[in-house]
């Protein structure tokens, strides 16, 4: 069928899973940190670099996006996984920024999903290298609407924060 080469499809976002939109990695080596979000026992530490030992005062971790999107192509509806680089196009900010925004605005992730719903994108999808991964991953994403507004911009307008920051509508 599609082979192992990345394929490019036009698709529309049907839904976004707002529950786990990011994960923590070591800010030095970007390995996934074992502890999930909101562990109140303090930031997890990378066992490979022991980052804190070299950078006291730094948390040693940062967040990257990992978003499950349900998308519809001409012929089918399927789930893709969107990692940091592609997700930034959709969200318009880093996962850390969005995480903090979502802390202040608890429904931000849900609303972001609603904002992206129905948007058309040209997505380059690749087969996961990891045989256990079940979803195609989004290698790149290009909005098809010239009026596309990254989710965070729409959210800032909705919630009335950060007005005037970033690019305004043309
Ligand atoms: Zn590390």
Long-range pairs for 154-159: beta carbons < 8 A, 24 or more residues apart = 154/115, 155/101, 155/105, 155/108, 155/111, 155/112, 155/115, 158/111, 159/105, 159/108
- pLDDT of 42 > 60? The answer is no
Residue 47 CA to ligand 1 centre (angstroms):
7
Residue 60 CA to ligand 1 centre (angstroms):
8
- pLDDT tens by residue, 48-73: 776 455 555 566 789 999 999 999 99
Residue 94 and residue 152 in contact, taking contact as beta carbons nearer than 8 Å? no
Query: What percent of the chain is predicted at pLDDT more than 70?
Result: 81
Residue 37 and residue 68 in contact, taking contact as beta carbons nearer than 8 Å? no
Q: Which two tokens stand for residue 81?
A: 């996984």
Residue 32 CA to ligand 1 centre (angstroms):
8
Residue 16 CA to ligand 1 centre (angstroms):
29
Superfamily of domain 7-22+66-159: Nucleic acid-binding proteins (2.40.50.140)
Give alpha helix (H) positions in the chain: 51-54, 84-91, 95-104, 108-116, 151-159
pLDDT at 166: 47
Q: How far apart are CA 68 and CA 92, in angstroms?
A: 17
Residue 18 CA to ligand 1 centre (angstroms):
27
Domain borders along the chain are 7-22+66-159
Residue 152 CA to ligand 1 centre (angstroms):
29
Total Cβ atoms within 10 A of residue 134: 9
CA atoms within 13 A on the CB side of 39: 13
Residue 50 CA to ligand 1 centre (angstroms):
7
Residue 34 CA to ligand 1 centre (angstroms):
11
| Mean pLDDT of all residues belonging to the chain | 84
What is the arithmetic mean of pLDDT over 12-23? Answer: 94
105: exposed, middle or buried (Cβ count in 10 Å: 0-12, 13-18, 19+): middle
Residue 33 CA to ligand 1 centre (angstroms):
8
Residue 28 CA to ligand 1 centre (angstroms):
5
Residue 39 CA to ligand 1 centre (angstroms):
18
What is the arithmetic mean of pLDDT over 29-36? Answer: 76
Closest CA relative to residue 70, chosen from 129, 24, 136, 127: 136
């Amino acid at each position: 069928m599609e082979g192992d080469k990345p394929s490019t499809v036009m698709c529309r976002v049907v839904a976004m899973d707002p529950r786990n939109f990011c994960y923590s990695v070591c800010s030095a080596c970007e390995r996934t940190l074992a502890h999930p979000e909101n562990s109140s026992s303090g930031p997890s530490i990378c066992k490979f670099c022991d980052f804190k030992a070299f950078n006291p005062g730094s948390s040693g971790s940062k967040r990257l996006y990992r978003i499950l999107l349900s998308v519809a192509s001409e012929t089918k509806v399927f789930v893709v996984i969107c990692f940091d680089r592609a997700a930034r196009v959709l969200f318009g900010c880093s996962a850390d920024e969005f995480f903090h925004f979502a802390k202040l605005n608890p429904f931000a992730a849900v609303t972001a999903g609603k904002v992206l719903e129905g948007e058309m994108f040209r997505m380059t999808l690749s087969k996961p290298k990891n045989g256990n991964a079940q979803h195609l991953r989004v290698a790149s994403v290009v909005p098809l609407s010239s009026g596309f507004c990254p989710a965070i911009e729409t959210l800032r307008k909705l919630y009335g924060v950060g007005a005037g920051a970033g690019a305004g509508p043309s």
